[in-house]
Structure 1
């Protein structure tokens, strides 16, 4: 008889706390600038305060919260300046990756088609959190496809802020989704056709400043 599959261990209290708080920030349950009460968080998650503190330290490292002396954890306010810097950094890394992939005629990452289809399903289900998660994986797959592990790690360090920006973008301008989906498919086509110049042009348009998002962060 084949061996029984080993069940994955249940998440630790710290992992449950991290996931719950991160999701609450992404969904807007906790607004930017809001201070988080450790006792209330422990009650909501069903843990002691120690896993909450550990989760908050991880969230600080990922720039979801700031730990303010004598006041506690505060949900970070993402400014327009930071938003622009994140998009500028992404463009530099992704444009370089696209150019190298096309020069080496590698084609699109094998998982890109599945990720595009997953994003489109999430859009139909109006599951913005899942769409943002898959969007980050899609772009990260392009960077990792170059084989430069250091560059991929640098890009992955942007993941929490990238997902948070994407969720806010989707809430502020959902009408742009058909355009975003078209650009995703066009980018895959450019990679498969080894057209680096076209790919860089698509990603430049894809990461352009969106007035609705600028207003959303200005208001925040």
Structure 2
């Protein structure tokens, strides 16, 4: 994991409560790996940068502890929780169940996603080529997969899938950080998924999704706890 960067300064917009602003600020630093797994931060660290008292920082830390992004340390602050290969594998297994169902519905109802998915692939390729950073790459990757889920018009399924978004963002950035070449590999696999769905070829779509979300996770065992 990279060493933590200097915390970026942030100004709270008018009308936003301090506790909500601090929560969003720290959460973004964790999801984008500015605060890497294992790093310890204190209430004063954040209060000084954001320009608030320690009370809203403490409240934000409690919320992030409840979301398993921070682990509170008595009299020491909080530690960013680790990301393990097992966590990534279990998250991807859950995503695979949902995306395989969506693929079956897309094929059964002949939902044409080709233009939308190819545009997202082009966007992800441009972001990767420009070196815009792993958080931007992962955010675009998430939009690709969310488009598949949302295409079938099942609001409950879409809500369930979006609830995993923060974990997808963080584990995705971790995976790219520890596994060189993963970004280009993901793009190739996205093209395979989009091609299969455009042809309404369910066996090919299922195989491409399994390759991307299941077997794609196993190499991380070599890099993560």
**Normalised by the shorter chain, which TM-score bucket?**
0.7 to 0.9
Determine the C-alpha separation between the residues in 2 that align with 1:140 and 1:187. Answer: 13
Return the offset for 1:107: 1.9
Shift of 1:43: 0.9
Q: Separation in 2 of the partners of 1:196 and 1:64?
A: 37
TM-score between the two structures when normalised by the length of structure 2? 0.81
- Return the alpha-carbon distance in structure 2 between the equivalents of residues 55 and 115 of structure 1: 34
Contact kept in structure 2, 1:107 and 1:192, CA below 8 Å? yes
Q: For residue 95 of structure 2, what is the aligned residue in structure 1?
A: 90
Query: Take 1:118 and 1:50, find their aligned partners in 2: how far apart are those partners?
Result: 41
Instruction: Count residues with an aligned counterpart.
Output: 211
Checking the alignment, whether the CA contact within 8 Å between 2:102 and 2:149 is kept in structure 1 is yes
* Correspondence for 2:186: 180
Residues 191-210 of structure 1: pairs in structure 2 closer than 5 A = 191-207=197-213, 208-210=215-217
Q: CA deviation at 1:70?
A: 6.3
Does residue 212 of structure 2 align to residue 213 of structure 1?
Answer: no
1:111-131 CA deviation, whole Å, 9 max, x = no partner? 433322221122112221111
Q: What is the distance in 1 between the residues matched to 2:135 and 2:112?
A: 28
Taking structure 1 as reference, are residues 123 and 15 closer, same or farther at Cα in structure 2, changes over 3 Å only?
farther
| 2:121–2:144 Cα contact (<8 Å) kept | yes
Distance 1:59 1:106, change over 3 A: same
- CA displacement at 1:199 relative to structure 2: 0.8
Deviates most, 177-186 or 64-73: 64-73
Q: For residues 110 and 90 of structure 1, do their structure 2 counterparts lie closer, same or farther at Cα, with a shift above 3 Å needed?
A: same
User: Which structure 2 residue ranges, 5 or more long, are not aligned?
Assistant: 1-12
Output one character per residue of 1:97-147: Cα deviation in whole Å (capped at 9) or x when no partner: 111111110122764333222211221122211111111121112111111
Q: What is the 5 A alignment of 1:32-111? A: 32-67=37-72, 72-108=77-113, 111=116
Counterparts of 2:21 and 2:211, CA distance in 1:
38
Name the counterpart of 2:138: 132
Instruction: Give the C-alpha shift of residue 61 in structure 1.
Output: 4.5
- Runs of 5+ unmatched residues, structure 1: 1-7
RMSD, matched Cα: 2.5
1: CA distance, partners of 2:192 / 2:90: 25
TM-score by length of 1: 0.83
CA distance change for structure 1 residues 62 and 153 in 2, over 3 Å: closer, same or farther?
Answer: farther
Deviation (angstroms), 1:88? 0.9
Aligned pairs (5 A) from 1:163-174: 163-174=169-180
* CA contact 1:84–1:209 (8 Å) conserved in 2: no
